[in-house]
């Protein structure tokens, strides 16, 4: 099936069930629409689920140089995320599930910190690298197809995953089911829309939403609403560290804005975040 096969977009917002939208970006037939009520940005039309699954099985780069660059890029972020988990999780050195774990480098970081690790990755390339490089065996099915046991994990992470999920609310409800009472959910997500609005017509030349793979673009308010309606509590969004891209300009931008976002967040006691930078959200299953 062609990866651009699509289905009709439902006429109501995922979060607030209203039906008034403003188109803020378009690439070919794909539109990104912002709900006028709650602000959630979503793609229209919605790509076909089966087509998306097939695409993600071959989504990750395969060359050794690309894999090495990706792991190097994510290393400082992986360490920052591990520190957030160890600061906030209710259990030390517990059991963690990373959904959409790519090449397995974050799980390796947690394994080195003596956590019990499990991961889900539908990409054969990602699973092969995790097995051969890190000695980590990953689940090869999506979360909804695995039927994992109730209350099995102390922490579940989705790092740059939630924006790709066709129904993020159903995903998070399933995550809540497999978390232990008091368990920690950690989401890492891009915040692209403020940049698209800032750039105006220039954004039309760029693929900032990675069309059509980013099905949603969240903000601190919409991610809080999403996790809240799915039954999580004590929800907090923070900068959460930065990546280390290979290109010099991208790397300097990531480092500069990463530190600036952290500085402003700390200075304002967690009340202010820079729009447009990637965010980390933590939330807890009720004990």
Comparing 22 with 46, which gets the higher pLDDT? 22
Tell me the C-alpha distance between 38 and 180, whole Å.
30
The pTM for the full model equals 0.92
Q: pLDDT at residue 3 above 60? A: no
Residue 71, both tokens: 């792991």
Backbone angles phi, psi at 49, to 5 degrees: -60, -50
Give 2's pLDDT tier (boundaries 50, 70, 90).
very low
| Least confident stretch, 206-220, 240-254, 259-273 | 240-254
Q: What is the 3-state secondary structure (H, E, C) of the chain?
A: CCCCCEECCCCCCCCCCCCCEEEEEEECCEEEEEECCCCCEEEECEECHHHHHHHHCCCCCCCHHHHHHHHHHHHHHHHHHHHHHHHHCCCCCCEEEEECCCCCHHHHHHHHCCCEEEEECCCHHHHHHHHHHHCCCCECCCHHHHCCCCCCEEEEEEECCHHHCCCHHHHHHHHHHHEEEEEEEEEEECCCHHHHHHHHHHHHHCCCCCCCCCCEECCHHHHHHHHHHCCCEEEEEECCCCCCCCCHHHHHHHHHHHHHHHHHHHHCCCCCCCCCCCEEEEEECCC
Residue 243, both tokens: 């990546």
Query: For the chain, which domains are there?
Result: 6-284 (3.40.50.150)
Q: pLDDT at residue 6 above 60? A: no
Tell me the C-alpha distance between 238 and 176, whole Å.
21
Backbone angles phi, psi at 258, to 5 degrees: -65, -50
pLDDT in the model for residue 201: 81
Q: pLDDT at residue 231 above 80? A: yes
pLDDT in the model for residue 5: 41
Over residues 212-222, mean pLDDT: 95
Percent of the chain with pLDDT over 70: 97
Distance from CA of residue 97 to its chain's centroid?
A: 14
Over residues 86-99, mean pLDDT: 96
pLDDT in the model for residue 10: 53
Give 8's pLDDT tier (boundaries 50, 70, 90).
very low
Q: pLDDT at residue 11 above 80? A: no
């Amino acid at each position: 099936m062609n990866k651009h096969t699509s289905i009709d977009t439902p006429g109501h917002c995922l979060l607030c069930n209203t039906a008034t939208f403003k188109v803020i970006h378009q690439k070919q037939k794909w539109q990104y629409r912002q709900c006028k009520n709650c602000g959630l940005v979503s793609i229209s039309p919605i790509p076909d689920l089966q087509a998306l699954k097939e695409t993600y099985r071959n989504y990750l780069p395969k060359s050794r140089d690309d894999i090495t660059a990706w792991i190097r890029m994510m290393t400082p972020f992986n360490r920052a995320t591990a520190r957030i988990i160890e600061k906030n999780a209710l259990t030390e050195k517990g059991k963690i599930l990373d959904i959409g774990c790519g090449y397995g480098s974050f799980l390796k970081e947690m394994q080195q910190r003596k956590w019990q690790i499990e991961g889900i990755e539908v990409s054969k390339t990602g699973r092969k690298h995790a097995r051969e490089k890190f000695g980590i065996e990953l689940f090869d099915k999506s979360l909804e197809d695995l039927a994992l046991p109730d209350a099995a994990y102390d922490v579940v992470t989705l790092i740059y995953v939630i924006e790709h999920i066709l129904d993020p609310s159903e995903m998070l409800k399933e995550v809540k089911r497999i978390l232990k009472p008091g368990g920690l959910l950690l989401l890492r997500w891009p915040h692209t829309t403020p940049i698209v609005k800032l750039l105006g017509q220039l954004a039309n030349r760029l693929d900032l939403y990675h069309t059509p793979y980013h099905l949603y673009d969240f903000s601190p308010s919409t991610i809080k609403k999403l996790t809240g309606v799915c039954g999580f509590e004590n929800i907090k969004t923070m900068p959460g560290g930065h990546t280390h891209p290979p290109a010099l300009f991208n790397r300097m931008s990531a480092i500069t804005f990463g530190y600036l976002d952290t500085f402003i967040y700390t200075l304002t006691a967690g009340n202010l975040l820079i729009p447009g930078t990637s965010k980390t959200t933590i939330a807890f299953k009720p004990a």
